[in-house]
Amino acid sequence: MPLRLNLVITTYLLSLAVFIPVSGWVADRLGTRVVFCAAIAIFAAGSALCGLSSNLPMLLGMRVLQGFGGAMMTPVGRLILLRSFPRSGLVSAMNWMTIPAMIGPTMGPIVGGFLTTYLSWRAIFYLNLPIGLAGVVLALWLIENFRAPAPTRFDLRGFFIAGSGLALLELAIENVGRPMIPRPLGTVFFVAAFAILLLYGWHAGGREDPILDLRLFRIRTFRIGTVTGSICRMGLDAVPFLLPLLFQIGFGLSPVQSGLLSFSSSLGAMLVRTLSTPLLRFFGFRRLLVGGAFLAAAVTVGCGLLRPETPAWLIVLFVLLSGCVRSIQYLGLNTISYADVPGAVLSKSTSVGGVAQQLARGFGIAIGAALLALIAGPTTLTIEDFRLAFLLIALLPLASALGFLRLSPLDGAEVSGHHQTQPRSA
């Protein structure tokens, strides 16, 4: 049963890894509204078909279909925001996009547990159907169908090389957190994935229109927001994975109690939304991201100091603070990455950024799981094991602060509204 569950989860994530790179090209070719609506419809239909599945192979096949829709949805949705708002309004737009990404991971287990307990596991998949239909109707009503005037040729060879490398890498990452194959074979997958991705780098260097345009990393703000941001995201995404385990294994709480405590982080993300824009305007991207990285590290260390005897209100307050810090940091990363990207390559940038975020999320969870496994060894997990794991995870946002220092104080000023008197550095 655990292996089957792992396969159902991993199949979806593999589909995401393979198809995210093509999202920008498809949007340029067919139009953002058409692709976004189709992505929602495919995701919802694939989800409903998962609920109707009568055997494991059918379920896995429908998860691939669902992953294809999901792979188009987020990058193209971000592309729609980037094209629909002036740079001065991008922070507010990204703010709204960040909230669902914060709420989903904490609300999902609670809603899923309720549906599974009182209805059926199939209800989890059926729930996406009415939501998807509503999404399609709203998208058709509200979104303009932007198409690139001269879409590039599809890089078929690059798609196969990048897709193979990313799929192997995603499988290797998932195997760390949810073992399905022997660990030595998983290590081989890591080596093979990096070799294939190096081959893709060589391939992309010789093409004018690669499926993933690595030349975007020449844009300093995109490079720092994506690469350094991925290091920070690993630490940020590891915390929501470790906290429920701490509450359930370390504190002995039920899944429902754990879920309710974890939801405090989503509440914090919503509460801080009204402050994030003024904070960004006052501090600018450089100081906000550096300060946010230090705060994230401090909050992560603090999570390891929580104990079963800690008052519930204090735990809630601490988790809520964690959600506030993560929300502001996500907003800063999501916005600075595209602050200086020319309009002509926005679709390519959302594809590259989508791949980076997907991998960072997977690596964050995998690192958290691997640390717990290494620290505890063959023995049962203890609170002290979690304490050390949180301490080590905190090094990731701490390290990212050094990268964020490479930003100029006025980088992204057009987006943040932050202005100072000193001249912008080259």
Q: What DSSP line would sit under 340-359, residue for residue?
A: T--GGGHHHHHHHHHHHHHH
Say yes or no: 166 and 265 in one domain: no
Say yes or no: 142 and 72 in one domain: yes
Q: What is the pLDDT of residue 116?
A: 66
Say yes or no: 256 and 165 in one domain: no
- Detail the DSSP E strand segments found in 266-398: none
Q: Could you tell me if residue 5 is inside a domain?
A: yes
5-19, 238-252, 342-356, 383-397: range with highest mean pLDDT: 383-397
Integer Cα distance of 273 and 343 in angstroms: 27
Amino acid at 165: G
Q: Could you tell me if residue 356 is inside a domain?
A: yes
Over residues 148-158, the pLDDT tens digits come to 676 677 888 88
Q: What is the DSSP letter of 178?
A: S
Dmax (CA) of the chain: 66
The answer, as to whether pTM is greater than 0.85, is no
Task: Please spell the DSSP secondary structure of 53-111, one letter per residue.
Answer: --SHHHHHHHHHHHHHHHHHHHHHHHHHHHHHS-GGGHHHHHHHHHHHHHHHHHHHHHH
* Residue range 213-237: mean pLDDT, rounded: 91
CA dihedral 14, 237, 336, 394 (to 10 degrees): -140
pLDDT band at 1 (very low <50, low <70, confident <90, very high): very low
Angle, nearest 10°, between helix axes 255-271 and 273-305? 140
* Residue range 199-210: mean pLDDT, rounded: 87
Q: What is the pLDDT of residue 117?
A: 67
Over residues 361-381, the pLDDT tens digits come to 888 888 888 888 888 777 777
Q: What is the pLDDT of residue 110?
A: 66
163 in helix, strand or coil? helix
Say yes or no: 362 and 223 in one domain: yes
Q: What is the pLDDT of residue 5?
A: 57
Domains held by the chain: number: 3
Q: What is the DSSP letter of 272?
A: T
Amino acid at 371: L
Say yes or no: 250 and 330 in one domain: yes
Over residues 290-344, the pLDDT tens digits come to 999 999 999 999 888 888 888 888 888 888 888 888 888 988 898 888 888 887 7
Q: Could you tell me if residue 277 is inside a domain?
A: yes
73-82, 285-294, 300-309, 389-398: least confidently modelled range: 73-82
At which of 106, 131, 151 does a domain end? 151
At which of 189, 210, 231 does a domain end? 210
Q: Could you tell me if residue 414 is inside a domain?
A: no
Say yes or no: 223 and 317 in one domain: yes
Say yes or no: 201 and 319 in one domain: no
76-85, 134-143, 284-293: least confidently modelled range: 76-85
Its domain, for residue 170, covers 155-210
Q: CB neighbours of 42 closer than 8 A, spacing ≥ 6? A: 65, 66, 68, 69, 72
Say yes or no: 282 and 319 in one domain: yes
Say yes or no: 172 and 144 in one domain: no
Indicate which CATH number applies to the domain containing 321: 1.20.1250.20
Long-range residue pairs from 179-187, CB within 8 A, at least 24 positions apart, any chain? 179/6, 180/3, 180/6, 180/7, 180/10
* Residue 265 and residue 107 in contact, taking contact as beta carbons nearer than 8 Å: no
Say yes or no: 391 and 322 in one domain: yes
